[in-house]
Structure 1
Amino acid sequence: MIIELGHYMLVLAFALALVQSVVPLWGARVNDSRMMAVASPIAVTQFLFVGLAFAALTHAYVTSDFSVQNVYENSHSSMPLLFKYTSVWGNHEGSMLLWVFILVIFGAMVGVFGRNLPPKLKANTLAVQGWITAAFLLFVLFTSNPFHRIANAPIEGRDLNPILQDIGLAIHPPLLYLGYVGFSIAFAFSIAALLEGRIDAAWARWVRPWVLVAWGLLTLGIAMGSYWAYYELGWGGYWFWDPVENASFMPWLSGTALLHSAVVMEKRGALKVWTILLSILTFSLSLLGTFLVRSGVLTSVHAFATDPSRGVFILALLVAFIGGGLTLFAWRAPLLRQGGVFAPISREGALVLNNLFLSAATAAVLVGTLYPLALEAITGAKISVGAPFFNATFGPMMIPLLLAVPIGPLLAWKRGDLIAATQRLYIAFGGTLFAIILCYSLIEGGSTLAPLGIGLAVWVMIGALSEIQLRIGLFKLPFKISLARLLGLPRTVWGTAFGHFGLGMTVLGLIVASAYQTESIVVMKPGDKETLSGYTFEFEGFKESAEFNYVDLAGTFNITRDDKFVTELHPTKRVYTTRNMPTTETAIYTNWGVTQLYMSLGDKQKDGGIAVRVYYKPWVTFIWLGSVVMFLGGCISLTDRRLRIGAPARKGRAKHAASTA
């Protein structure tokens, strides 16, 4: 009964989405306030209905209701309770329901927290969000129904894909979807503004918090996915330029450009057309990622193996929303008034430079991802575009972008002085030069260009701190005045500094871990020792155990350095009994929070030995810690009064109250 109720809730939500996509839009057209006002309560009610449907599917998984085909194919009664919850979105149908659930959450948030939005803009925005919701609900109901029953219910399920039975699955997909779907709000705002024909700085101020939320969550989702692949797959890598990884990276690059473009539009009223276009393209890339993962055109550990007919449906949605959005943009964009004029050397100019390089980088990743698919579709030839292509195209475009990151915030709006801005970064110059010289002097091995890359990362990090130092007058003004200025800095300044500093941390981790890691692959028997980067690994033996729905074969390794005990590692070969599928569970030791020893087991040999893969990865955790710092920067910016939804309205009410007192 609960399953049928969940299905019925989706049908009701679809009916409401159709109403939401038509009535407010027509109300905005005829200027009927009552018709426009229905958008918010409908959006909230949709959230309740889809939430009940999601709860119904979750209940089926937790109670192991194998009469539901989706539960039967992706669960098992002996699975730990946590993985029964995560199994809800560990498959195509459940993940699409999660997608729609997040979609209606954002729509409800606009309805509840968008009280200060102009009625027409709010009505049009929620109507566009209704179009998107209706389309995806139609997709779920007709091609991906998670509530389909089995006539003769089996006693036991087929179990979840073993590599998905990990805590990372509880975090990574929801965060990624929150980022993907969050950009739908920016898309809806853009289409609504084009329909109304009015785009100004106020529009940028309304849309920027939503872009910040989506960008921050997508940043965290990509980082979590990278770390999951790093420790779960046993390959020792954190990014493989996998097409599905690229599918999430492209909207992040475009969303970063959108975030900076919205700043220019809010501050100076410039880049209106470009900001609208980026809003459309960013959500379009999110939809493209959905198509790549679910169409069956890609083979990847990240992709869902699904019926190609589902891919055709998503492709139709892709054409409708991208084609429709770009057609409306081409029609209305020439009618928009241009914003303020600025000199090439200015803060606006620096942000435009940022946009150009990010857009070019997005295009390079897009070409490298889609070209093999297009070539195979046209000629039947199969080729692989891997890391060499992306490193050769993407990497060089990041160098001038990173060089410009600390300079941009120090330039004045409208017209700046490049020489003066660079002179104010003398501390960053000194720190960068010191880091490069230190690396060349003390570090042996690795690429000869690696110290320059480290210097670039240090330049970005110290440059982010230099902006704070210059704003508060540290070392130039009395300490009390500097402290007062520090406490009074706008939170957006702190957010920018955190974001740029986190970017530098991630770049530093990528360069050091890639250039200076060491690796050893050996076959070891109990009692054997292996040395790597000053650490000695002694193999003690195996231990077999049975847990829940799998059997573990764990190795024990004593780690010493200079004859002093460091730690004990237990890498594991795990076999899930239901599917008889093996997985590799890595063992990782983190030293001082930055450097990791990484160990995984291979196949067991006939002579009693086992293949062992060992890595020494210096500063590798900075890759993910930097992403967390970037996310915190976005959170800090969101707390700024100017970006809090409803702040202008509250300020207006406060002034009114003061005038009537």
Structure 2
Amino acid sequence: MIVETGHYALILALGIALVQSVLPLWGARTGDTRLMAVGISAALGTFLLIALAFGGLVAAYVTSDFSVLNVFENSHSQQPLIYKFTSAWGNHEGSMLLWVLILGLFGALVALLGHDLPPSLKATVLSVQAWVTVAFLLFILTTSNPFIRLMPPPIEGQDLNPILQDLGLAIHPPLLYLGYVGFSIAFSFAVAALIDGRVDAAWARWVRPWTLAAWVFLTLGIAMGSYWAYYELGWGGWWYWDPVENASFMPWLAGTALLHSALVMEKRAALKIWTILLAILTFSLSLMGTFLVRSGVLTSVHAFATDPTRGVFVLAILVVFIGGSLALFAARAGTLEAGGLFAPISREGALVFNNLFLTTATATVLVGTLYPLLLEVLNGAKISVGAPFFDLTFAPLMVPLLIAVPFGPLLAWKRGDLWAATQRLYVSAGVALAVIIVVLALEGGARVLSAFGFGLAAFLMLGSLTDLFFRAGLPRAGPSVAWLRFIGLPRSAFGTAIAHFGLGMTVLGIVAASAFQTELVTTVKPGDVLRSGGYEIRFEGMSKREGPNYSEEVAHFALSRGGVAAGTLEPTKRAYPARQMPTTESAIHTRLMSQLYLALGDSDSNGGAVVVRVWWKPLVTLIWLGAVVMGFGGMVSLADRRLRVGAPARRKAAKPARTEVGA
């Protein structure tokens, strides 16, 4: 019964979303406050009904109700409870329901927290958000219904894809969708502003917190997905330039540009047209990622569906929303004011420089991702665009951008002094140069690019703290005065510095892991000793274990360092009988920021020999820790009262007391 309730709730949500898509917009056009207020209750009602439907699907998974086709195809009664729960979105239908749940969540949050928004703008935003909700609810109900029953019900399920039976499934998709779908709010604000014909600094201030929140979630979601693939697939890499990985990376690049562009618009009322276009393009790239994953045009470990009819439906959604919003933009762009002027050397100029390189990098990744698909459609030729292309095109675009990052906060608005900013960065540049010289000396003059990468990372991390240093009045102010100034700085200043510092950490991890990792592929027998990263790795033999829904062969390795025991590693090869699918489970030993990584290959059960791949990856964890620090910086900025969603209005000034005549 709970499954039918969930299905019915989804249908009701579609009906209410249709009401929300029309009445508030009509009220905004006619000035009818009652119709505008419908958007608030409708957004809340839509979210609650979708949540009820999602809860029904989760309940079917937790209770192993195999009369539901979706549960039968993606679950098993012997799965651990955590995987029964996460199986609800470990498939196409369930993940789309999670997608639309988060879409409804953001609409409800705008309804609840948008107290400072003009009623007409808020109503229009909620209507535009409902358009997207209606489209995806129709997609679920017509092509991807997760509540289809099987009669008679099977006794046992087919199990979840073994690769997805991991804690990463509980973290990565929700975070990624919160980022993907969160940019829908920026899109709705942009379309609403175009409909109203009013784009100003206040608009930028309203949209920035939503954009920042989506950016934080997407940053953490991409980082979690990268680490999950790193340890789960046994390949030892952290980024493959897979088309679906690129599909999440492109909205991140565009969203980063949008954040900086909106800052210029808020502070200087400039870049209005460009900011609106970026808001449209960022969510458009999110929609394109949804199409790539669910259309069947890609064969990828990340792909959810291969049904072309679903792809046609999603393609229609893309055409309507991307084409419609761009057509509206083209019609309205001529009526928008260009905004304030500024000198090329200024903080605005630095942010424009940032936007130029970020959008060019986005276009580069877009071309590399779509070109093979377009070529196959045109002449049937199949080619692969992989890491060499992206390394040669994307990396050179990032270098000047990363060099410029510390300069931006040190430049004044409207007209800055580049020489003064350079002087303030002398210490950071000096340390970076010293790092380059030390690395070159240690490597005997080789690895010039790696040495430059280390220096760039040091310049980024130290340069990100320079703005806080000088804004606190150092070195001229005394310690007590400097401390008071420091703690009095706005949280957005701390957030910016933390995020830029995290970016430097990620760059440091990428350079170290790429340039100095070692790899060993060999066959070992019990008693053999391998050496990597200063460790002695002794193979002690194989054993077999039984899991709840799998069996596995376990290799036992004892670690020692300088003759002192340092732990054990147990990489495995698992077999899932329900799916008839094997997986490789790597084993990782972390020391400070570096990792020793082991993965098994084929084994000889008679002789006890096994093929093993051993990597030593120096500072590799900084890649993901840096992303976490970037996300934390975004959260600190979001805590700034000036960016806080739903910040209370300022109190009105008290009226002066009336003076009595003749007193």
Please give the secondary structure, in 1, of the residue aligned with 2:148.
Answer: coil
Deviations 1:187-244 (A, max 9, x none): 0000000000000000000000000000000000000000000000000000000000
2:598 paired residue number: 599
| Superposition deviation, residue 627 in structure 1 | 0.3
Amino acid at match of 2:597: Y
CA distance in 1, matches of 2:147, 2:639: 40
Do 1:92 and 1:306's aligned partners in 2 also have CA atoms closer than 8 Å? Answer: no
CA distance in 2, matches of 1:337, 1:568: 65
1:2 paired residue number: 2
Amino acid at match of 1:521: V
Aligned counterparts, 1:111-510, within 5 A:
111-443=111-443, 447-510=447-510
CA distance in 2, matches of 1:446, 1:314: 50
Amino acid at match of 1:655: K
CA distance in 2, matches of 1:177, 1:451: 37
Please give the secondary structure, in 2, of the residue aligned with 1:599.
Answer: strand
Do 1:543 and 1:554's aligned partners in 2 also have CA atoms closer than 8 Å? Answer: yes
CA distance in 1, matches of 2:135, 2:655: 47
Do 1:254 and 1:359's aligned partners in 2 also have CA atoms closer than 8 Å? Answer: yes
2:561 paired residue number: 561
Amino acid at match of 2:601: G
Deviations 1:416-435 (A, max 9, x none): 11111111111111111111
CA distance in 2, matches of 1:448, 1:208: 40
Confirm whether residue 655 of structure 1 aligns to residue 652 of structure 2.
Answer: yes
| Superposition deviation, residue 607 in structure 1 | 3.3
Amino acid at match of 1:99: W
Deviations 1:364-405 (A, max 9, x none): 000000000000000000000000000000000001000100
- Summarize the Cα distance change of 1:540–1:332 in structure 2 as closer, same or farther, 3 Å threshold: same
Do 1:427 and 1:466's aligned partners in 2 also have CA atoms closer than 8 Å? Answer: no
Amino acid at match of 1:227: Y
1:573 paired residue number: 573
Moved more, 144-153 or 565-574: 565-574
Please give the secondary structure, in 1, of the residue aligned with 2:448.
Answer: coil
| Superposition deviation, residue 304 in structure 1 | 1.3
Please give the secondary structure, in 2, of the residue aligned with 1:219.
Answer: helix
Please give the secondary structure, in 1, of the residue aligned with 2:297.
Answer: coil
Moved more, 599-608 or 93-102: 599-608
Moved more, 95-104 or 555-564: 555-564
Please give the secondary structure, in 2, of the residue aligned with 1:406.
Answer: helix
Q: Structure 2: which 5+ runs fail to align?
A: 659-663
Please give the secondary structure, in 2, of the residue aligned with 1:267.
Answer: helix
CA distance in 2, matches of 1:211, 1:585: 37
CA distance in 2, matches of 1:657, 1:287: 50
CA distance in 1, matches of 2:360, 2:492: 27
- Summarize the Cα distance change of 1:446–1:619 in structure 2 as closer, same or farther, 3 Å threshold: farther
How many residues are aligned here? 657
Deviations 1:523-575 (A, max 9, x none): 11111111123221110011211010011211111112222222211111111
Please give the secondary structure, in 2, of the residue aligned with 1:238.
Answer: coil
Moved more, 97-106 or 578-587: 578-587
Deviations 1:5-43 (A, max 9, x none): 100000000001111010011111111111111101100
Displaced runs of 4+ in structure 1, greater than 6 A?
Answer: 657-661
CA distance in 2, matches of 1:257, 1:277: 11
Identity %: 65
CA distance in 1, matches of 2:441, 2:655: 65
1:43 paired residue number: 43
TM-score with structure 1 setting the length = 0.98
Please give the secondary structure, in 2, of the residue aligned with 1:616.
Answer: strand
| Superposition deviation, residue 645 in structure 1 | 1.9
Please give the secondary structure, in 1, of the residue aligned with 2:341.
Answer: coil
CA distance in 2, matches of 1:194, 1:413: 27
Do 2:575 and 2:583's aligned partners in 1 also have CA atoms closer than 8 Å? Answer: yes
- Summarize the Cα distance change of 1:173–1:445 in structure 2 as closer, same or farther, 3 Å threshold: farther
Do 1:73 and 1:158's aligned partners in 2 also have CA atoms closer than 8 Å? Answer: yes
Task: Report the RMSD for the aligned CA atoms in angstroms.
Answer: 1.3
CA distance in 2, matches of 1:609, 1:655: 79
CA distance in 1, matches of 2:261, 2:193: 16
Please give the secondary structure, in 1, of the residue aligned with 2:520.
Answer: strand
TM-score with structure 2 setting the length = 0.98
Please give the secondary structure, in 2, of the residue aligned with 1:77.
Answer: coil
2:540 paired residue number: 540
- Summarize the Cα distance change of 1:660–1:547 in structure 2 as closer, same or farther, 3 Å threshold: farther
CA distance in 1, matches of 2:80, 2:272: 51
CA distance in 1, matches of 2:370, 2:655: 59
Deviations 1:618-644 (A, max 9, x none): 000000000000000010001101011
Confirm whether residue 70 of structure 1 aligns to residue 70 of structure 2.
Answer: yes
CA distance in 1, matches of 2:429, 2:355: 25
Deviations 1:501-527 (A, max 9, x none): 001100110011000000000011111
| Superposition deviation, residue 656 in structure 1 | 5.5
Deviations 1:566-603 (A, max 9, x none): 221111111112112111111111102x0000001111
- Summarize the Cα distance change of 1:658–1:495 in structure 2 as closer, same or farther, 3 Å threshold: farther
Confirm whether residue 529 of structure 1 aligns to residue 529 of structure 2.
Answer: yes
Please give the secondary structure, in 2, of the residue aligned with 1:475.
Answer: coil
